[in-house]
């Protein structure tokens, strides 16, 4: 059976990481059995020093997109074969916007902003013994802020990052409109990616200006709730 290395459920979400959530939803939608291994301490041993990665026997596959490609080939899944070429191209670019831009607003809201950082610190590092519980979170926060700065989002003020996130939420809300899924009645891989990124804001039990801004869009809240309830009903909403 496939082993999925993840951070684990957190803040009412199926995983603290939207990239892990994406793989978990893909596995659930396609009814692929797997064993989940939550071990944040082993992140350093991950092939790309990031979660998710999977083990399939001796094969290791890291990166959510590559995992989905690998599993699609193995299980002969063609989730997007019904999309037109134009829809497929738009889906690709929207998903890149979500994962390469909106995602960094999420990281900023959790790791940079002082309103949410204490909750993140206590969740990931609270059970460590003293003095690790003071030193490790400091180092981890410093490292994450360096990555956010390297990516570019970290150069902005909190208000500017919030404005960037708000524009993405509004655009996604407009595109989704009152459809069940982004391209109509049927789920595509864009819905999997959109669920993973959006639910990290709409369904998180963390109250901050970014999550509150996402929750103003009723259709995005309903979309993420519906999917979480359909595939992960054990998580309370
Ligand atoms: N492109 C990767 C991104 C994965 C990623 O950024 N994972 C983050 C969590 S959301 C991570 O493991 N971060 C740990 C670190 O950078 O130390 C994917 O699609 O899987």
Q: Where are the domains of the chain?
A: 2-74, 85-231
**Confidence at residue 12, expressed as pLDDT on a 0 to 100 scale:** 96
Domain boundaries 85-231, CATH class: mainly alpha
- The three-state secondary structure class of 96 is helix
**Confidence at residue 40, expressed as pLDDT on a 0 to 100 scale:** 87
Cα of 48 from ligand 1 centre, angstroms: 8
- Alpha carbon distances (Å) from 135 to 45, 104, 128, 131, 148: 21, 24, 10, 6, 20
Cα of 6 from ligand 1 centre, angstroms: 10
**Confidence at residue 199, expressed as pLDDT on a 0 to 100 scale:** 98
- Alpha carbon distances (Å) from 75 to 10, 20, 135, 170, 223: 29, 19, 44, 36, 27
Q: Which residues of 95-118 are buried (b: 16+ CB within 10 A; e: fewer)?
A: beebbebbbbbbbbbbbbbeebbe
| One pLDDT digit (tens) per residue for the chain, 237 residues | 999 999 999 999 999 999 999 999 999 999 999 999 998 888 999 999 999 999 999 999 999 999 999 999 999 999 999 999 999 999 999 999 999 999 999 999 999 999 999 999 999 999 999 999 999 999 999 999 999 999 999 999 999 999 999 999 999 999 999 999 999 999 999 999 999 999 999 999 999 999 999 999 999 999 999 999 999 998 876
The encoded tokens of residue 10 equal 């957190």
**Confidence at residue 89, expressed as pLDDT on a 0 to 100 scale:** 98
Answer positive or negative: Cα dihedral of 148, 153, 157, 163.
negative
Which of 41, 42, 51, 200 to mutate to test ligand 1, by most ligand atoms within 8 A of the CB atom?
51
Cα of 218 from ligand 1 centre, angstroms: 28
Pocket of ligand 1 (CB under 6 A): 17, 19, 43, 50-52, 63-65
The encoded tokens of residue 220 equal 């995005």
Query: What is the rounded CA–CA span in Å between residue 9 and residue 38?
Result: 9
Nearest CA to ligand 1 atom 20: 63
Assigned superfamily of 2-74 = Glutaredoxin (3.40.30.10)
**Confidence at residue 41, expressed as pLDDT on a 0 to 100 scale:** 85
**Confidence at residue 65, expressed as pLDDT on a 0 to 100 scale:** 98
Query: What is the rounded CA–CA span in Å between residue 174 and residue 64?
Result: 26
**Confidence at residue 83, expressed as pLDDT on a 0 to 100 scale:** 98
The encoded tokens of residue 169 equal 């939420």
- Alpha carbon distances (Å) from 4 to 23, 88, 166, 181, 224: 9, 27, 32, 26, 22
Cα of 56 from ligand 1 centre, angstroms: 20
- Alpha carbon distances (Å) from 71 to 32, 52, 132: 9, 14, 38
């Amino acid at each position: 059976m496939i082993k999925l290395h993840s951070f684990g459920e957190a803040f009412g979400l199926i995983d603290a990481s939207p990239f892990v959530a994406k793989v978990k939803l893909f596995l659930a939608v396609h009814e692929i059995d797997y064993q989940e291994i939550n071990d944040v301490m082993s992140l350093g041993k991950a092939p790309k020093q990031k979660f998710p990665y999977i083990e399939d026997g001796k094969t290791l596959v890291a990166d959510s997109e590559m995992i989905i490609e690998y599993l699609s080939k193995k299980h002969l899944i063609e989730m997007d074969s019904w999309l037109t070429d134009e829809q497929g191209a738009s889906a690709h670019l929207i998903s890149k916007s979500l994962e390469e831009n909106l995602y960094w607003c999420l990281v900023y809201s959790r790791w940079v902003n002082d309103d949410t950082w204490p909750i993140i610190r206590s969740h990931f590092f609270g059970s460590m013994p003293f003095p690790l519980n003071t030193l490790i979170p400091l180092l981890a926060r410093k490292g994450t802020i360096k990555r956010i700065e390297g990516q570019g989002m970290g150069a902005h003020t909190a208000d500017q990052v919030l404005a960037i996130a708000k524009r993405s939420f509004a655009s996604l809300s407009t595109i989704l409109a009152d459809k069940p899924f982004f391209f109509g009645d049927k789920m595509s891989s864009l819905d999997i990616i959109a669920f993973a990124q959006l639910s990290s804001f709409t369904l998180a039990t963390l109250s901050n200006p970014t999550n509150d801004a996402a929750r103003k869009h009723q259709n995005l809240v309903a979309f993420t709730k519906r999917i979480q309830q359909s595939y992960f009903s054990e998580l309370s909403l």
